[in-house]
Every structure is written in C-alpha cells, then in structure tokens.
Structure 1
C-alpha cells in the first residue's frame, strides 16, 4: 500500500482521459448500492480498492462521476496510505489480476489515514465535522454531540436537527449557557491542512463566533 506517491500518480493519469468516455451508468444508479470503506492503491495502470479487513482488491470504475480518480491522484503527491469512504456496487471485472470491479456511485471522503478502518466511533456517528485555524472537531450521534477545541473544556450536549432545502441541514443546541449551531451543506470540501476531500462543507457557530470546515456522514447515516 505504501507505494511511492509518484508511482501511484503515474498509474492513475492514463485513466483520466478515457474514464468518462467508457462510462455507462446503470438505469437505476441507487439500486444495490453499499457503503464501503477501505484502502486505495494503484497497479497495472488501474486504481484498486481493498475493503477494510479484507484481502480482496477491486478495480475502481467511477460510474457516478464522483471524481475519485482525480482526488486520489492529487493526494498521491503526499506520502502515506490512502483511505476512501464510498458507496457503490460490485460486479465482475473484464481485467485479470483483481477480484472484480467496484462501480463507485458516491464519494464520502478520501484522505491519508492508517487507522480509519479501525475507528470504533464511526458506526455510531451520524455526522463528523472539523476545521482548522482555530482547530475544532464535532461528532454527532444518537446520544448527542461532542465539541472538542484546544484549550476549551469538551462540550457534550443534546441537539436538535433541522432539515433544510437542497440537502442542507442544521444541528443546534442551547445548553450549559452556550449556543452552538452546525450548518452543513452538500458541497465538496478540502481540508486546508491535510488535503483530505469530503462531500460536505460545514460552518460552526459558537456564541456568535464562526468557524468553517468540512464534514462527512458517519456510519449510521447514508442519505
């Protein structure tokens, strides 16, 4: 998995020119989709996906025009294993040397990580959001939200969720004398420190202070 970044980049570049021309979207792109997490690597001029805790490798086909190939190539310029959180379906592959084809329909996030496959909190979360300068991290699930910031006591409180037009939503709470709002929108977001790409942008407001960042759905939410 820890191939030289330049080799991964070189292996992916030939895919870009033809991937859209060869694309054949299924009549019902939502049918049979499964959310999966795993590691990305490149071999024989193709991008491969290895699901967490498995030894199988699947050739990646960007059936949903998610941009996964381009995102992986951009991150390949940095060292480290590539982790992907995607939704799609598996099919037989026309190319030898792999265990089938992964038809990606949705990209939740792609980033450098060595431990996301073993994250014990992922399945319990509905949303995770984070930002930089200042640093902040918010985890929301069925038991409430937890806001973590350096130099500030951790805030664990219940919250209300409001669905908004165009796939946007808001998490809010007024507890312990503080007003916290998290505004989330379905928009590609790039972490300014790590280059990680996720499918949601986020804006956190704490007692009138506004902080921006990125977000993604946890394992208990796939809409």
Structure 2
C-alpha cells in the first residue's frame, strides 16, 4: 500500500521542481543587416588639406568623402572638373553613408560641375539624361517614353523600357513610325566639350543612319 503513495509523492516533487525552474529568456532578435546599396548623394564638395568635404544640398551638415571607386573613377572625375584648382563643385555621387552621417564612401561619379547650383533629382519620368554637341542633341528616358531631340530634325518619341544593364554598359533599342533608336551608355568619364561638367557615362545614339556622341548621367 506504500508504493502508490511514494510514487505519487515523487511525481508531485518532480512537477514542483520543474515549475520552480526559471525559463531561460528568449534570444533577442537579430539586428537587421546594414543596407550597403549605393544611393545618390548630391551637394557641394571642396578639397581642404587633402581631404574631400561634402555638404548635401539644403543641409548644413558636412561629411568626409572616401573614394572607393574602381580605378579612382570618382577622384579622376573631380580633378577633371577643377577640384585641384580649389574650386567648389556641385557633385552627384553614388555611395554609402557611414559613421553616423560623417563619412560618404563614394563608389561612382554621376556628374561634377564647377561652381554649379543644386539640381533637383530626377522624378519618376526621368531615369537617364544624355546630351551632346556638333550637332546639338538631348535625350531623356524614363516614365512612359524615350525622347530624342536634335537640331534640324523631328523629335523622336518611343515607349520607354528599363535599360538593359550588363557590366559597365546600359542599352536601349526601340522602333516606332519612321524611326529606330539604339542607345548605348558606357560607364566612362565624359567631359562636356562646351563646359566644365564631367559625367559618369559616355553616350552613343544611333538614329536614322546618324551616330550621335555625348555624355549621359542617371537620374
């Protein structure tokens, strides 16, 4: 008659011990991985004692710029635009901001303009802009259409599609009533032949048997 009592006592003791054992706290959720996607930063840049100092448009803060681009593409473009002469540049750089907004690691130059003013970033209707001289022409791509304007020639309008990207090249081809357009942008420094602006892309546009050369930049 004692065995059931002992067994019941042992079961109650085990339940009591288990209830008294604290449950370990749940592990805290893992911190989200940092977003290292380069984004467009636009503002003014000057060289001060071998350091590049950047101030975003409509912002009184400052941050240092570190050139992490391949083959010093950013630094070479800034020098082409006149940075070595002590000039203040308006620049658009793709990069990642670190160090509590004190460091911009710049990986690509979009454009650099000596003594320029802040420009409004492109909206949903602009993904790319390109232009050239001799003859003068301008291309805008984004939203619903690609538009090419040339001196002495009718305007070309074609439906927009996202440019195909392969390595350092972005391309677009389209055909409409009476016009075929082939656009090729290559990521190489390109200087405006009539100004002090340096862009991050070269542009080649073929239309109606004509080849147009110029520069391109992203919006």
Same-fold status (TM-score > 0.5) = yes
In structure 1, what is the equivalent of residue 91 of structure 2? 84
1:25-74 CA-partner distances (Å, limit 9, x unpaired): xxxxx825332111112334422111122111112211335443343233
Query: Paired residues, what number?
Result: 185
- Give the conservation status (yes or no) of the 8 Å contact 1:47–1:69: no
Match of 1:69 in 2: 75
Give the CA deviation at 1:194. Answer: 1.9
Preserved CA contact (<8 Å) 2:44 2:90:
yes
- CA shift, 1:105, in A, is 2.0
* Residue aligning to 2:146: 145
Task: Give 3-state SS (helix, strand or coil) of 2:119's partner.
Answer: helix
Deviation at 1:111, TM superposition (A): 2.2
Cα 1:74–1:36 change in 2 (3 A) is same
Structure 1 residues 199-208 or 188-197, which shifts more?
188-197
Q: 1:148 to 1:79 in 2, by over 3 A?
A: farther
Decide whether aligned partners of structure 1 residues 202 and 74 sit closer, same or farther in structure 2, where only a CA change above 3 A counts: closer
In our comparison, the structure showing a higher alpha carbon Rg is 2
The 3 A distance-change label for structure 1 pair 74 and 214 is closer
- Quick one: distance in 2 between partners of 1:187 and 1:199? 6
Query: Does the alignment pair 1:109 with 2:111?
Result: yes
Unpaired stretches in structure 2, ≥5 consecutive residues? 1-34
- Could you tell me whether the CA contact under 8 Å between 2:93 and 2:106 is conserved in 1? yes
- Where does structure 1 lack aligned partners over 5 or more consecutive residues? 1-29, 94-98, 219-223
Matched-pair contact (CA < 8 Å) for 2:204–2:214: yes
Within the alignment, does 1:170 sit opposite 2:175 as a pair? Answer: no
CA RMSD of aligned residues (A): 3.1
